Amino acid sequence: MPKLIIDDIPVEVAPGTSVLEAARSVGITIPHFCYHPALAIAAACRLCAVKLLDGPVKGIQMSCALPAQDGMVVSTTDPEALKMRSLVIEWLMLNHPHDCPVCDEGGECLLQDFTIAGGHSRRRYQGKKRTFQNQYLGEGIHHEMNRCIECYRCVRFYQDYAGGTDFGVMGSAGRVYFGRFQEGALESPFSGNLVDICPTGVFTDKTGRFRARYWDYQFAPSICQHCSVGCNTSPQNFERETIKIVGRRNDQVNGWFICDRARFDKTYLNDPQRPREPRLDGATCGYDVAVDAAAKSIREFVRQHGADKLAFVGSTRLSLEGMILLAQLADAAGGARICYFGDAGQQQGSMAAAKLLNEENTAYVKDIEQAQWVSLHALDLMEEGPMLALAVRKAFLAGAQIFLVAAEALPARDVLPFKYTSVETLNQVPFEGGGKGVIICGAGSKDPDLLAEMASSGAKLVMLQPGPNGFAAALLAQEHGAAPLKELVAARQVRGVVCFEADVPEVLLADVEVLANADWRREAVTDTSPIFLPTTTWVESDGTAINFEGRAQRFQRTRIAGLPLKGLDPKYYGSATEAVSLHPPRVHRKEVPGGAERDAWRVMAQLIERLGGEPIEPLSGKWSSLKSLDPEGEGVRIFEIGLGE
């Protein structure tokens, strides 16, 4: 463990730690642009200069590229180091357009921060500024090359980290240009990370430009709900609208980055057409009126047909809290049936995965990255868990062999960011050194023999789940004996359903009566259900999700529910009692326009009460250790808290 002194502070760090990171460990931020912990060292910007006063190396050195060694005496405030850093800023400012007021990065710009920190303030250069032509890079990213400070982060991420080939660096000297050979949409499904990784405003999120400044945003730690990987995100909200979604670091899951679906697929959250009003028989009503009606309808149905003819249907979109209370609600209704899955194959695959996995055989993302071979079994990785493709790429770059099993029909196999060998069956994958291998399996149904074969291979396993909270659904389906809805309907065992964020296929609706539907999006059942109860989305609610590896992660409410202020119907401007609406609004309203949504699990709790039950605290009993889960932490694998079996 090297011991060194940085600005008179003794520091001890792990071998191989850079002086920059060693300084950071004691709270000293050495300014830097090209350095990024997820990328290889470039030492290109030369901003992180420090002076070594004593020890094995002396003089001005770049702290990002200098491994900490015993006996180093480092000064970050030496006049020579300060001068170097101020000159680097001056050099970078020769051509920077200084257009911060009209730059979407302003306020969250590393270049702004370190320019102020660098101490350069007076322009001495008398020459002209260099300018570039910008490119159209697709609907996600806006390109503004004049702002570039040539830190090479974008190209190092895009090509080296994400394996993209259609974006790179061209030209030399003062004319280096970061872009595509020809204008056009970026091809990489990870291109959105350019927005996060660019230290200035060359790449900004086109889907949320000029809407708000960084300090305007409401943020909270969240978990992406697009697939079962559970990447950590920070939705940035302004006036009840999710403007941008950025990646949030979690080294156990997604590292620093997120895929483009997580970042750009957000219009549904802000959609003014989202069903936001509770409805009873087609007419808008108060929320409690709708809940009362639902309870009444449930009681009536149970009295007529018996509780076993009624199913409470959830889905893998529900939070863990919702899934737990769904079971209690079915119980409160007199022992109704529970469905977490619509499809039998999906349920079988999901439950088999949850049953097979344990602390020993479940791969961490690090296991994928360090594997000697990875076998992708019957899955479209770019669809089911794009961020894992980057983990596989890391293994590939380190020399691992990648096999694609039975994947001939997959559409996205050509865009996988690594080279692979196609094989027919798992048998053809050479299992030597099984302990350092990883098998990644899709969410579909799984043959028991195949699972046994995978389990005995000695490889670590990744079993992707259908939907963001599939693992939890499988655990609860196991616990409560839940059945797939399609099966129950086909066997005529169920005649009525109450849906909570359930994706009920339209074909089933001919055979069952929908008593009530609670959801945040319009589904087939939304229009046929006599009672509709609007619920909150994941950005508007607190909850817990369990990802593919059994990692429970907490997401927090990032903004209140309601219609976005932008584009708000003028009918909301005035008071409810006055005929003429005023603009701008001159009356304070007590309710948020379109903000009637409630969290699904709270609606369940209210129904339980109405049905005469005592709603439980969702994360109690065996789940109670998840109650204190830190939303900013790494999450916890349920095996570690004894919940796996």
Partner 1 sequence: MELPLFRHNRPDRVVTFDEYREEGGFEGLKKAFSGMSPNDVQQAVLDSGLRGRGGAGFATGRKWSFVPRDLPGPRWLICNCDEMEPGTYKDRVLLEHNPYSLIEGMTLACYALGVRHAFIFIRKGYEKAAANLARGIEEAKQAGLLGEHILGSEHSIELDLHLSAGRYICGEETALINALEGKRPNPRSKPPFPAVKGLWQGPTVVNNVETLANVPAIVANGAAWFKGLALNPEGAGSKLFCVSGSVKNRACVELPIGTTLGDIIDGACGGMRDGKKFKACIPGGASTQFLKPEHWNLPMDYETVAKAGSRLGSGGVIVFDEGHCLVEATLNLINFFARESCGWCTPCREGLPYVKEILTRIENGRGEEDDIAILREHVKYLNYTFCALAPGAMAPLDGLLRDFEDEVREHIVKRKCPLK
User: Does residue 154 interact with partner 1 by CB under 8 A?
Assistant: no
Q: 135-174 burial, b for 16+ CB within 10 Å, e for fewer?
A: bebbebbbbbbbbbbbbbbbbbbbbebbbbebbebeeeee
Min CB(86)–partner 1 separation in Å: 10
User: Does residue 145 interact with partner 1 by CB under 8 A?
Assistant: no
Min CB(196)–partner 1 separation in Å: 22
Contact residue for partner 1 among 78, 104, 105, 150 (CB under 8 A): 150
DSSP string, 416-467: -SS--EEESSGGGS--TTGGGEEEEE-SS---HHHHHHHHHT--EEEE--SS
User: Does residue 175 interact with partner 1 by CB under 8 A?
Assistant: yes
Min CB(172)–partner 1 separation in Å: 5
Grouping H, G, I as helix, E, B as strand and the rest as coil, residue 516 is strand
Contact residue for partner 1 among 35, 114, 132, 152 (CB under 8 A): 152
User: Does residue 524 interact with partner 1 by CB under 8 A?
Assistant: no
User: Does residue 629 interact with partner 1 by CB under 8 A?
Assistant: no
The set of residues, in sequence order, having a beta carbon less than 8 Å from that of 584 and lying 6+ positions away, is: 573
The two structure tokens encoding residue 641: 């808290």
User: Does residue 41 interact with partner 1 by CB under 8 A?
Assistant: yes
Per-residue contact flags (x/-) with partner 1 for residues 115 to 134, judged by CB under 8 A: ---------xxxx-------
User: Does residue 44 interact with partner 1 by CB under 8 A?
Assistant: yes
- Asked if residue 478 lies in contact with residue 355, where contact means CB atoms within 8 angstroms, the answer is yes
Helix H segments across 147-274? Answer: 153-155, 193-197, 260-264, 267-270
Contact residue for partner 1 among 176, 412, 415, 629 (CB under 8 A): 176
Question: CA distances (Å), 522 to each of 118, 265, 314, 504, 519, in order?
Answer: 52, 17, 15, 11, 7
Q: Which stretch binds partner 1 (CB under 8 A): 167-175, 360-368, 545-553, 616-624?
A: 167-175
The two structure tokens encoding residue 174: 């003062």
User: Does residue 171 interact with partner 1 by CB under 8 A?
Assistant: yes
Q: Which of residues 388-447 bind partner 1 (CB under 8 A)?
A: none
Per-residue contact flags (x/-) with partner 1 for residues 235 to 274, judged by CB under 8 A: ----------------------------------------
Min CB(99)–partner 1 separation in Å: 18
Question: For partner 1, which is the closer residue by CB, 9 or 82?
Answer: 82
Output the CA angle 630-395-635, nearest 5 degrees.
10
DSSP string, 179-213: E-SSS-----TTTTHHHHH-SSTTEEEGGGTTS--
- Asked if residue 233 lies in contact with residue 242, where contact means CB atoms within 8 angstroms, the answer is no
Q: How many residues bind to partner 1 according to rule CB under 8 A?
A: 33
Grouping H, G, I as helix, E, B as strand and the rest as coil, residue 500 is strand
Question: For partner 1, which is the closer residue by CB, 126 or 182?
Answer: 126
Q: Which of residues 86-115 bind partner 1 (CB under 8 A)?
A: 87-88, 91-92, 94-95
Contact residue for partner 1 among 46, 244, 248, 337 (CB under 8 A): 46
Q: Which stretch binds partner 1 (CB under 8 A): 103-111, 172-180, 374-382, 411-419?
A: 172-180
The two structure tokens encoding residue 23: 């300084």
Per-residue contact flags (x/-) with partner 1 for residues 47 to 86, judged by CB under 8 A: x-x----------x-x--x-----------------xx--
- Asked if residue 30 lies in contact with residue 76, where contact means CB atoms within 8 angstroms, the answer is yes
Q: Which stretch binds partner 1 (CB under 8 A): 41-49, 131-139, 187-195, 549-557?
A: 41-49
What is the sign, positive or negative, of the torsion defined by CA atoms of 471, 475, 476, 482? positive
The two structure tokens encoding residue 478: 């196991």
Min CB(174)–partner 1 separation in Å: 5
User: Does residue 149 interact with partner 1 by CB under 8 A?
Assistant: yes
CA–CA separation, 364 and 483 (whole Å): 30
Min CB(65)–partner 1 separation in Å: 6
Q: Which stretch binds partner 1 (CB under 8 A): 23-31, 146-154, 325-333, 609-617?
A: 146-154
Min CB(151)–partner 1 separation in Å: 9
Which DSSP symbol is given to 615? P
CA–CA separation, 586 and 579 (whole Å): 14
Radius of gyration of the chain (CA): 28
Question: For partner 1, which is the closer residue by CB, 124 or 583?
Answer: 124
Min CB(41)–partner 1 separation in Å: 7
41: left (phi over 0), alpha (psi -120 to 50) or beta: beta
Question: For partner 1, which is the closer residue by CB, 46 or 495?
Answer: 46
Interface positions with partner 1 (CB under 8 A): 41-47, 49, 60, 62, 65, 83-84, 87-88, 91-92, 94-95, 124-127, 149-150, 152, 169, 171-176
